Amino acid sequence: MNPRLTQSQQKTICAQLGRFKLKLLYKASIHGFTGAAFHQRCDNRSPTVSVGYNNSGFVFGGYTKQPFSQSGQYVNDDQAFLFTFDGENLIKYPVTNPPYAVRMVANSGPYFGEALVLVNGSQAVTHSNPGKYYNFPAAQMHGNDLNLTECEVYEVQGTTELERPWRTVIWESEKRKELIESIKSYKPTVSSVTQPRVLLIGPVGAGKSSFFNSVSSVFRGHVTSQAISGSSSTSLTTQFRSYSVKAGREGKPLPIILCDTMGLEETKGAGLDIDDLSSILKGHLPDRYQFNPSAPLHPEAHGYRTSPGLKDKIHCVAYVIDASKVSIMPTGLEEKLDAIRRKVNLMGIPQLVLLTKIDEACPLVKEDVTNVYRSGYIKDLMQEVGSRLGVPLSCIIPVKNYSEELELDMNCDILLLSAVIQMFRFVDNYFDELSDRMSNMQTKD
């Protein structure tokens, strides 16, 4: 039994639900366009996604967390919604009157309020009545073509909780203190560099500036925001910024500089320019350099460093990726990231991935951040990011940035601090490689 929903459509629906995968329960062309066939295969299963298809090419349906039955009653569901696909995009119509979200009717297929019924009256037809507990434009939903060529119902399968965490983390305040001390006392192996520079690269809105703000918050002792962060479809960071994190309000700077760039955008000529990236990696760019996506950097730019020293270069690159958008990453963006990775590889700069918004991607982690390495879903996401970006699992670190919180959370702090420690380890690798190359050159001389 093959699903008619494409992989891409399934992923788009799952991204809405923060769930794992869809399992096909009922397919009308095989089991019959009847209420009886639908109920036989779908009763007592939940949550579900029901999908109708018509000859006009529309793909539409509804989601409910309530199990189907034949009671004749309405069932309350405040999370129910109807949807239709516009190309690859999902348009959602939430329930407007939750007590009437779903009706359990024996002689029909999935029955959403009185607004949308698939396999209505055991016929290959849709009943459509916008406004009855769901609002939608009929032309947008199904193009007013009410004859069904197919109807499918999928069960939404939740995230799996692993028996034991696959990475060991000590979630204790002593551990937090120990990590803070290790970061404060870190010294690079090269004496000419006191603050290694880590470049944050990632799509618009993935959480680059928020990561800096979050690390800064841990050392300040309360949630703070120095770098502009928020949600926008185009980059909020338009300048090249290098931020030094201070150990407390009056404290001295920590041995790390986090460099923030414009967000990556999938279209050419928008967001971070790949040619500008070379200048950043080599250390030519001054702080507060104003990006111009339509024209790459030129050496006459104000503050351009013509002969940067080792301390000005980038010593580690961290890709910042939103966990809740991994499976629906646009091809254009993936290609840009691939081009960047190749460029960074050629320059011998170590690379890691910060996987952000893990709580938005997985209900298990939303419940408790310490479940991060117990979530089968997060592990799968990390593997998917690894294969898409060409980095091993050991280079991927999940974090939860502070966004709406006012107070710090010990467990979030531990993940953020562990990410900084990992950056230091990668920086050490960079300097080790460098000294190996230097000593090889000297032996050749």
- CATH 3.30.420.10 for domain 173-443, yes or no, is no
Global confidence as pTM: 0.71
Partner residues linked to 64 by β-bridges: 48
Instruction: List, in order, residues 6 or more apart from 265 with CB less than 8 Å away.
Output: 203, 204, 234, 235, 271, 272, 333
Nearest one of 21, 13, 74, 70 to 41, comparing CA atoms: 70
Residue 235's pLDDT band (cuts 50, 70, 90)? very low
> What pLDDT score was predicted for residue 228?
59
**Structure confidence by residue, pLDDT tens digits, 167-223:** 999 999 999 999 999 999 999 988 899 999 999 998 878 888 899 999 999 999 988
Place of tokens 């499976």: 327
User: Residue 101 has which token pair?
Assistant: 């979200």
Partner residues linked to 396 by β-bridges: 353
Partner residues linked to 320 by β-bridges: 354
**Structure confidence by residue, pLDDT tens digits, 128-166:** 999 989 999 999 999 999 999 999 999 998 767 888 899
Taking the C-alpha atoms of residue 92 and residue 89, their distance in angstroms, rounded to an integer, is 10
Nearest one of 393, 18, 391, 399 to 206, comparing CA atoms: 399
CATH 3.40.50.300 domain position(s) in the chain: 173-443
**Structure confidence by residue, pLDDT tens digits, 381-418:** 999 999 888 899 999 999 999 988 888 999 999 999 99
Q: What is the largest distance, in Å, between two alpha-carbon atoms of the chain?
A: 88
In 207-287, where does DSSP find H-type helix? 208-220, 274-282
**Structure confidence by residue, pLDDT tens digits, 2-12:** 899 988 898 88
Using a 10 angstrom Cβ sphere, with 0-12 exposed, 13-18 middle and 19 or more buried, the burial of residue 239 is middle
Q: For all residues of the chain together, what is the average pLDDT?
A: 88
**Structure confidence by residue, pLDDT tens digits, 38-95:** 999 999 998 999 999 999 999 999 999 999 999 999 999 999 999 999 988 899 999 9
Q: What is the DSSP string of 165-209?
A: -SS----SHHHHHHHHHHHHT---SSTT-SS-EEEEE-BTTSSHH
The residue type at 93: Y
